[in-house]
Structure 1
């Protein structure tokens, strides 16, 4: 049985609460705004807020992307020169402002200003995420597997892979827009953005493209195609996309490469099992770790250009991945499409659960609560606990 038939039967099966890092102040240049949403992505809520409240997307600060098919509470910052009050928005074929939301049935979100803070939120700017998750179809063989794998996680943590949300925040999961950009192929990048690897007979007929896709497009995507219709080059049209959308292409590809570094490292060093992931990719999980104290402190860079790798096993793993996917060193810190891509940074290889608690347990269902540090994914943990 697939993972999401067990943990996401309804949005209420997957509840996420951000624990923010910012503290309210008497004075400040930004409002801290609570965003509660049901069955809608973070990026979509930002676009709706931007459109209805006339606030440029770049002015809205947020700490992370939260699952779409879930009930989540997170926080935004908005400059105090914009008016902000309690508002609710519902999606029923189109977005509409409403007085309140039926949280048991409707899809949408509400925002509520809490007070002022001194600076805007940025990605990763929170203390932790708290998850309350219901697992269904929790039959006997699954229960045994869950408790056995939880014992491994309790002792050794679990691999800090990027979860599927990191790859679903752009249009296509089966291709990487950034690979086209790095080759200077902006038209290929646009085609990948709209259609992935699918072939399209009318590509290049911008009027037909506009007419076909228009009902499902965001306003900035319509602007992009209108630009192509006016004769803009593919590169200039690409720059019409908001910068936070363009940056997602970079994040998605670098996250994929990082996951591959970690998978290769685990497979060379530890006893492991492979578990299916999206797009026929695989994630490998350790089942025994003799050097857990070392692993706790291990950080893996995104490129290794700025943060040199001393661990020989990790260095070999990274080189194998870069060779396999044809990644060139001259791509690191490169400016392309109005953004700097393939930058270096560090991410912990392992993550450990905090405050794990079983809230409810029946013959066919279990409800658990736990916290994870920012940037770590509950779905990555659950893939291992439930073995896909």
Structure 2
């Protein structure tokens, strides 16, 4: 059975609460808003909020993307020159509508309310962490045995800090990354990948037909993009119509995939491991035992290695192997393309530990657990090991 059938049967089975970094003040340059949502992605909620309040999307700061099929609480910032008050939205007859109340967890929708002021905008990663409360269903005997065995490994050694599936929402087909087309200057291919992945489309290039076919399901900026193609804009200029935070997601998706592959290769080269199914037929490898844990716990893995070349020879070989496999070229590093700098370097911890892990409820068929992860770590990555390895 797939992972999400066990942990996301209902939105209230997966509760995420952001642990904020910024404390609300009585005065400040930015409103601090609390966003509570269920069964809607962070980006969709922000787009709806922007459309109804007329606050430009680029002016809305947020610390991270929260799961769609879940009940989540997170924080936003907008400059004080915009008026804000509590608002709620949900789909009514398939159209987003402002409403007085949303039954969070039971309905698709979200509410936003001001909670104070701060003096700077939120950016990605601007949070202490996330608290999770998760209900695991169909928790039969064989699964319980696996869960407790793997939980002991996590308590001793933590778990690999892979990027989770939320990072790959822009990847519609296996290994078909929009950024790879952009890096090669193929913006027509990038747009085709964005809308259809690797699926064959016999009317690609007939922009009027494309618009008629897709318009009911498109965001306004996506409609604007196709309208631009209809007016004769080049694919590159049409691509730039996408909001910058959307364009950056293409970079994050590809770099996150490569980083996951570096860590997977490293673990397989050094430790006893088990491979676990991931999305798009990809795999994640989890160590079962670690002989040099004091070293591994402090290890940081670079995103490209061109500025942060690791001393660890096994890690260097893993990075080289992956970059060679996917045809990564050095001239792509720090490249400015489509109004953004891509393939930048940085460091990410190889291992993460859940904090305050507790079993809240337990029956023969169900278990409820809670734990906190630091910013940038993914609960689904931990759960894949506990439930699937």
Compute the TM-score of the two structures, normalised by the length of structure 1.
0.99
Assess if the C-alpha contact under 8 Å between 2:171 and 2:253 holds in 1. no
Assess if the C-alpha contact under 8 Å between 2:59 and 2:79 holds in 1. yes
| 1:243 alignment counterpart | 244
Deviation at 1:27, TM superposition (A): 2.0
How many residues align? The count is 387
Asked whether 1:3 is paired with 2:6, we answer no
Cα deviations by residue, 1:186-210 (Å, 9 ceiling, x for unpaired): 0000000000000100000000000
**What is the rounded CA distance, in whole Å, between the counterparts of 2:148 and 2:171 in structure 1?**
37
Superposition pairs of residues 273-312 of structure 1, within 5 angstroms: 273-312=274-313
5+ long unaligned stretches in structure 1: none
**What is the rounded CA distance, in whole Å, between the counterparts of 1:366 and 1:33 in structure 2?**
32
Deviation at 1:103, TM superposition (A): 2.2
Assess if the C-alpha contact under 8 Å between 1:38 and 1:108 holds in 2. yes
| 1:361 alignment counterpart | 362
RMSD: 0.8
**What is the rounded CA distance, in whole Å, between the counterparts of 1:173 and 1:283 in structure 2?**
18
Deviation at 1:340, TM superposition (A): 0.4
| 1:46 alignment counterpart | 46
Deviation at 1:104, TM superposition (A): 4.2
**What is the rounded CA distance, in whole Å, between the counterparts of 2:287 and 2:171 in structure 1?**
32
**What is the rounded CA distance, in whole Å, between the counterparts of 2:313 and 2:84 in structure 1?**
53
5+ long unaligned stretches in structure 2: none
DSSP-derived class of the 1:95 partner: strand
Asked whether 1:35 is paired with 2:24, we answer no
Superposition pairs of residues 61-140 of structure 1, within 5 angstroms: 61-92=61-92, 93-140=94-141
Compute the TM-score of the two structures, normalised by the length of structure 2.
0.98
Cα deviations by residue, 1:302-346 (Å, 9 ceiling, x for unpaired): 011111211100000000000000000110000111110000111
**What is the rounded CA distance, in whole Å, between the counterparts of 1:217 and 1:37 in structure 2?**
21
Assess if the C-alpha contact under 8 Å between 1:171 and 1:194 holds in 2. no
Deviation at 1:25, TM superposition (A): 2.1
**What is the rounded CA distance, in whole Å, between the counterparts of 1:172 and 1:274 in structure 2?**
23
Give the 3 Å change call, closer, same or farther, for CA 289–57 of structure 1 in structure 2: same
**What is the rounded CA distance, in whole Å, between the counterparts of 1:266 and 1:273 in structure 2?**
10
**What is the rounded CA distance, in whole Å, between the counterparts of 2:103 and 2:125 in structure 1?**
30
Assess if the C-alpha contact under 8 Å between 2:296 and 2:350 holds in 1. yes
Larger mean CA deviation between 304-313 and 9-18 belongs to 304-313
**What is the rounded CA distance, in whole Å, between the counterparts of 1:103 and 1:82 in structure 2?**
26
Superposition pairs of residues 1-388 of structure 1, within 5 angstroms: 1-92=1-92, 93-168=94-169, 170=170, 172-174=172-174, 175-387=176-388
Assess if the C-alpha contact under 8 Å between 2:21 and 2:128 holds in 1. yes
Structure 1 segments of 4+ aligned residues over 3 angstroms from their partners: none
Give the 3 Å change call, closer, same or farther, for CA 53–171 of structure 1 in structure 2: farther
Assess if the C-alpha contact under 8 Å between 1:20 and 1:126 holds in 2. yes
DSSP-derived class of the 2:237 partner: helix
**What is the rounded CA distance, in whole Å, between the counterparts of 1:104 and 1:114 in structure 2?**
22
Larger mean CA deviation between 62-71 and 19-28 belongs to 19-28
**What is the rounded CA distance, in whole Å, between the counterparts of 1:52 and 1:252 in structure 2?**
29
